[in-house]
Structure 1
Amino acid sequence: MPQPLVTIICLCYNHERFLKEALDSVLAQTYKNLELIVVDDMSTDNSAAIIQEYTRKYPQINYISTGKNLGNTKAFNMGWRASKGEFVIDFATDDVLLPERVEKQVNQFQKVGLNYGVVYSDADYINDCSEHLYYHSQKFKAAPDGDVFSEVIGRYFICPPTMMMRREVLGELGGYDETLAYEDFDFWVRSARNWNYSYLPEVTTKRRLHAHSLSQKLYSSEVRMLLSTIKVCEKAAALVETPSEKNALIKRLKYEIRHAYLTNHFTETAQFLKLLNNLKTKPGIVYNLIRLLNNKQIKLNIVRELYVRLRYGK
């Protein structure tokens, strides 16, 4: 039985320091029926030269330059539309794949039914120097399997770079939503409505944490990230069908309200509060107080800063 084709879309933007380690990890895969596409989103460092060096040495690599800086969602879609794989991996080139990553996830797909659209796994978090920090499963417990729609609305538990996606899922969704600043929450909400997820309880990926990681910018001054979260919550509100799903969305909105307010994003806090109100639920004393304080734009960011310092030592 022939192996299904797997496409690895390697997304690069100013990953010069990590690029060789990332590309070497892709080339070292034990699974051989691979389509390798490297998309450079107009890096301003030496990344393009490194990619060209690899394409000369490894002609199986398809190199795409976006022509101008487009952002992650548009850059991925360029690679996806140029691809042919039955399964697709979205791989940022500051991360690292373990050698059996693709082989193990394809095997997992072949064990589960055709209604499974995503296989995801555990991950090893590393720093700039590729040193171990912690495992994803240590921080985010009880990874669910099957219908995960309520779970993806209510909480974060999937390490995005560990996902392998069925091509049919991306086709159904039209790829990533290019109006958004980041892709994972939106992809989870839209895909999990119609597709099951399978969890592979093995470390398949090293995820790098550094100051320029997209995940580090969610509650920063870059409001586009929060605006994207608001848009995804609006989509989720249109998709919920059961009381448990509604409760999951309420949980998510309350989380976003707290963090948006405590980072002085008053306009965005008001939008989250409006979404919560639209669900016709009693917000409770805390969120009525936040509404009042937010209307007066009273800054309490010191509370969040103290919490982060106490919990994470930052």
Structure 2
Amino acid sequence: MSQPLVSIICLCYNHERFLREALDSVLTQTYPNLEVIIVDDCSTDNSVSIIRKYVQQYPQLKFISTGQNLGNTRAFNIGWRASQGQFILDFATDDVLLPGRVAQQVAQFQRLGPAYGVVYSDAEYISDASEHLYFHSQRYKAAPDGDVFAEVLGRYFICPPTMLMRREVFEKLHGYDEALAYEDFDFWIRSARQYKYAYLPEVTTKRRLHNHSLSGNLYKKGNQLLASTVVVCRRAAEMVQTPQEHAALARRLKYEARHAYLTANFTEAEQLLQLLKQTTGTPFLYSLIRQLSKRRINLGFLRSLYYRLRNR
């Protein structure tokens, strides 16, 4: 069976501490037909110097500098549009690929039909010091296959850096939406409406958790990521078709509205609750939250108390 070209888009922004481990994990992939493109989004640390040394030592690596800080969505789009691979891997250079990652996922794609656009897998979460924290599958038990639109709309279960994607998915979607502050949720919604997903029950990736990761900042007060969530939820409301999908959207809106309100992101909370009202109606609890949000009454201590009790 032929071995299709896989493009690994290595996205770097101030990853000096992790960059060598990340690039070494790309270079030790067992899959032979790789195109590796490193995109640096105008790092201010020593990342570019490290990248140049790798490119000098490994001429097969391609290096693109954005010239100015563009953010994840725009920087990644530059990388995949410069690539040629039949499959695309979005790789942040603070994470680590296990050696068989690409080979395993390509093999799964080759067992699937063209209706499948994404293969995702289990992952190990690691600390700044590369110490084991937990496995993704320990916290998110169910990993569905096939039509996952309602699932990705209603809850989080995909570890983003584990995805390998068909090139045609990006071409049909015109890449990530560059107007958004982050890409995952929007990509899932738009791609899952048109393509099936497949789960590989293997740990293929180490995902690093640290203070500067986007996911860790999503619900901080005043963070612009929530504004993007509102946009994606509005977009999803135009896509839902079945009662199951409407219920999943309502579940997502309730979850996001609660967190927005309890982190004092009152504007986004009101927008999400207004969309909930238009979608399925507003239960009493969420009507109360909306009134509290309008009056800017901050009950954020309840969220902090919950997480303290949960993490004991």
**Which band: TM-score by shorter chain?**
over 0.9
Find the residue that maps to 1:94 and give its secondary structure. Answer: coil
Q: What's the counterpart of residue 42 of structure 1? A: 42
Structure 1 SS opposite 2:145 = coil
Q: Give yes or no for the alignment of 1:89 onto 2:89.
A: yes
User: For each residue in 1:100-134, what CA deviation from the matched residue of structure 2 results, as whole angstroms up to 9, or x when unmatched?
Assistant: 00000000000111100000000000001111100
Structure 1 CA distance, aligned partners of 2:216 and 2:60? 33
Output the TM-score relative to the length of structure 2.
Answer: 0.99
Provide the residue aligned with 1:267 in structure 2: 267
Please state whether the residue corresponding to 2:141 is helix, strand or coil: coil
What residue in structure 1 maps to residue 252 of structure 2? 252
Equivalent residue pairs, number: 312
Partner of 2:200: 200
1:121 aligns with 2:121: yes
Partner of 2:22: 22
% identical aligned pairs? 67
Corresponding letter in the other structure for 1:300 = L
Amino acid at match of 2:157: F
Q: CA deviation at 1:172?
A: 0.3
Structure 2 partner of 1:103 = 103
Give the corresponding residue for 1:130. 130
How far residue 177 of structure 1 moved from its aligned partner, in angstroms, is: 0.2
Structure 1 residue identity aligned to 2:303: R
Cα distance per residue 1:176-227 (max 9 Å; x no partner) = 0000010000000000001000000000000000001111010013431000
Residue of structure 2 equivalent to 1:298: 297
**Residue 163 of structure 1: aligned partner:** 163
Letter in 2 for 1:187: F
Output the amino acid matched with 1:269: A
Q: Is the 8 A contact 2:11 2:38 kept in 1?
A: yes
Structure 1 residues without counterparts, runs of 5 or longer: none
Question: CA–CA distance in 1 between the matches of 2:222 and 2:28?
Answer: 36
Preserved contact between residue 222 and residue 265 of structure 2 (Cα < 8 Å): no
Is 2:161–2:205's contact at 8 Å kept on the other side of the alignment?
yes
Q: How far apart are 1:309 and its partner, in Å?
A: 1.5
Once the two structures are superposed, what CA deviation does each residue of 1:286-311 show, in whole Å capped at 9, x if it has no partner? Answer: 10110111111111011111111111
Q: 2:162 & 2:156 partners in 1: Cα distance?
A: 14
Equivalent residue, structure 2, for 1:213? 213
Cα distance in 1 between the residues matched to 2:239 and 2:263:
29
User: TM-score, length-normalised on structure 1?
Assistant: 0.98
What is the CA distance between 1:2 and its match in structure 2?
Answer: 2.6
How far apart, CA to CA, are the structure 2 residues paired with 1:218 and 1:2?
41
* Equivalence for 1:7: 7
- Tell me which stretches of 4 or more aligned residues in structure 1 moved more than 2 Å: none
Q: Structure 2: how far apart are the matches of 1:287 and 1:300?
A: 14
AA in 2 matched with 1:30: T
Please give the alpha-carbon distance, in whole angstroms, between the structure 1 residues aligned to 2:6 and 2:166.
Answer: 9
**1:233-291, CA deviations, whole angstroms, 9 ceiling, x for partnerless residues?**
01100100111000000000000110000001111111001111111x23212101101
Alignment match, 2:287 = 288
1:141 counterpart residue number: 141
> Aligned partners of 1:79, 1:308: CA distance in 2, in Å?
38
Aligned to 2:56: 56
Q: Secondary structure at the match of 1:270?
A: helix
* Contact 2:217/2:223 (<8 A) preserved: no
Q: Is the contact between residue 39 and residue 79 of structure 2 (CA under 8 Å) also seen in structure 1?
A: yes
